[in-house]
Amino acid sequence: MVTITGFVALILVAVAVATSAVLGGVLQQNLDNKVGDSTSVAADQYQLLTRNTALLHTVGAEDVLNLGHFPAGFLFFQQAPTSQDAAYINSDGRIVALSTAQRAAVVQAFNSQNGRLEPVTVEIPDLGAYRLQPRVLPNNQYIVVGGLPLSELNETVTQILVTVALVTAGGLLLLGSAIAVIIRVGLRPLRAVAETATRVATLPMAEGEVSISERVPVDEADDRTEIGRVGAALNTLLDHVDSSLAARQRNEERMRTFVADASHELRTPLASIRGYSELSLRALQQAPPELAAETTSSSLERIQAQSLRMTTLVEDLLLLARLDEGQELVYGQVDLTRLIVEAVSDAGPAGPEHVWLLDLAEEPISISGDAGRLQQVVANLLANALTHTPEGTCVTVGLHKERGQAVITVHDDGPGIDPAIGDELFERFSRGDRSRARKTGGTGLGLSIARAIVEAHRGTISVQSVPGDTTFTVRLPMRQPKAG
């Protein structure tokens, strides 16, 4: 605001000075013309009075001025070879003779002109500044001078300067006020941004569930203006941060759930291993040899089963970690048709109460990929259908080509997926059944492993589900990049 006001003030001052200079020059030119006209009239009247040479020494300045037709303040000076006389008309209209000092000032001014008969400004004692115009009479022996005061011109210029100064000052005050209002209105969105950022900065976000509800008001975040875009950008940033914090909170909750589930899953086989180990030792120490051998054999079988459960859980966790690092894939030519037929054949004995169907393309479909991991994807999807659908459910596994992709579908007519977990079904530690039952409560890693494997093959996995119609779809590109 100070910078703009300063520049405008400088421009206005320059305009005022230039205007005053031009106007002063015009007024002075007009005054010179007026002085010249009045001097010509006075000279003509002086010559008329002195046409008789005998009167040359008796005609004075007052005689000329008495003839009238001269403006107030007009000064007349005449100089003959042997005399000089001067008088002026004061503001009351009276003719007053100039004193010796005043006449001397006039003479001195023209003497300094070195004979040039040009208009000159003279400071006359007690009368002020005068603009004088000399005129030489035809006989070149007599000089007459006419003049008018500069007071009127100076007053006009002064009045103009004062008016310009007042108008400039008032204009600058008005401009400053207008700029201040415009700036305050224009920067109001930035103040809203600053206030919103300050409120957000005071929110506790170090731990716990965090939700950022603060936003820049919509009317202050108009992306059609530069400042409004700042508010809109901050709102976008806050939306992103809020969603990221919500995702972090969900991941933390899933992690806590997973830790509890994994701890339970590991604790159970560990407790079984410990119990059966102690039972075996007691049987060996206390029971008869025949009974001790039978008890020990049964205990070792149970210990082995629980060890396999622990191994499976640990291997799943290790597989996810390696897939995150881009490892664990061994590329080769994979016959998907044969892989799916074998997977369905394996699922039949595991779920004889279900109906297992195949819907395959007429021609075999092969891609480049990791056969073992792709088989694990199909097995996890079939196990998911077996675990979460009731007896008698029909499960159909399909394989087709579509726009350069191999499309695997696993469809069932079961009860469908709970909408509450639909958005997080493929997230790690997500469980379709919150229980820890052996039959239905898994560790929540099966579908997340399937997604990790599919994405490692540059593919996608999705699900669409309504009661009676659930379909998992895996899309894999026909050509895979070679592993580096």
The reported pLDDT for the residue numbered 365 is 92
Give the separation between CA 172 and CA 165, rounded to whole angstroms: 10
Give the separation between CA 416 and CA 467, rounded to whole angstroms: 4
What's the rounded mean pLDDT across residues 305-312? Answer: 68
Indicate the DSSP class of residue 98: P
Contact 292, 329 (CB under 8 A): no
The reported pLDDT for the residue numbered 353 is 92
- 139 has pLDDT over 70: no
The reported pLDDT for the residue numbered 381 is 92
CA angle 344, 349, 352 (to 5 degrees): 100
Nearest of 155, 148, 151 to residue 33 by alpha carbon: 148
Higher pLDDT, 212 or 176: 176
Q: In what order do the strands lie in the sheet with 84-89?
A: 95-97, 84-89, 75-79, 143-149, 128-136, 120-124
- 9 has pLDDT over 50: yes
The pLDDT-based confidence of 435 (bands split at 50, 70, 90) is very low
**pTM of the model as a whole:** 0.46
Give the separation between CA 37 and CA 25, rounded to whole angstroms: 18
The reported pLDDT for the residue numbered 366 is 92
- 77 has pLDDT over 70: yes
The pLDDT-based confidence of 437 (bands split at 50, 70, 90) is very low
**Which range is least confidently modeled, 83-97, 352-366, 421-435?**
421-435
**Which range is least confidently modeled, 135-149, 196-210, 280-294?**
280-294
DSSP three-state, residue 120: strand
Higher pLDDT, 387 or 309: 387
pLDDT tens across 424-434, in order?
777 765 655 54
Give the separation between CA 282 and CA 218, rounded to whole angstroms: 76
- 471 has pLDDT over 80: yes
- 178 has pLDDT over 80: yes
Higher pLDDT, 26 or 443: 26
The reported pLDDT for the residue numbered 440 is 47
- 200 has pLDDT over 90: no
List, in sequence order, every residue forming a beta bridge with 402; answer none if it has no partner: 405
What's the rounded mean pLDDT across residues 191-196? Answer: 82
Torsion angle, alpha carbons of 55, 57, 58, 61, to 10: 110
What's the rounded mean pLDDT across residues 31-39? Answer: 88
Characterize the bridge pairing of strands 128-136 and 332-335: unpaired
What's the rounded mean pLDDT across residues 201-226? Answer: 75
pLDDT tens across 362-412, in order?
899 999 988 888 998 999 999 989 988 999 999 999 999 988 899 999 999
The reported pLDDT for the residue numbered 292 is 55
What's the rounded mean pLDDT across residues 265-282? Answer: 68
List, in sequence order, every residue forming a beta bridge with 97; answer none if it has no partner: 87
Higher pLDDT, 172 or 420: 172
The reported pLDDT for the residue numbered 411 is 95
Single-letter residue type at 108? Q
The pLDDT-based confidence of 484 (bands split at 50, 70, 90) is very low
CA angle 445, 448, 452 (to 5 degrees): 130
Q: Which domains does the chain have, with CATH numbers?
A: 2-158 (3.30.450), 204-328 (1.10.287.130), 330-477 (3.30.565.10)
Higher pLDDT, 190 or 286: 190
Contact 49, 64 (CB under 8 A): yes
Higher pLDDT, 119 or 419: 119
The reported pLDDT for the residue numbered 438 is 45
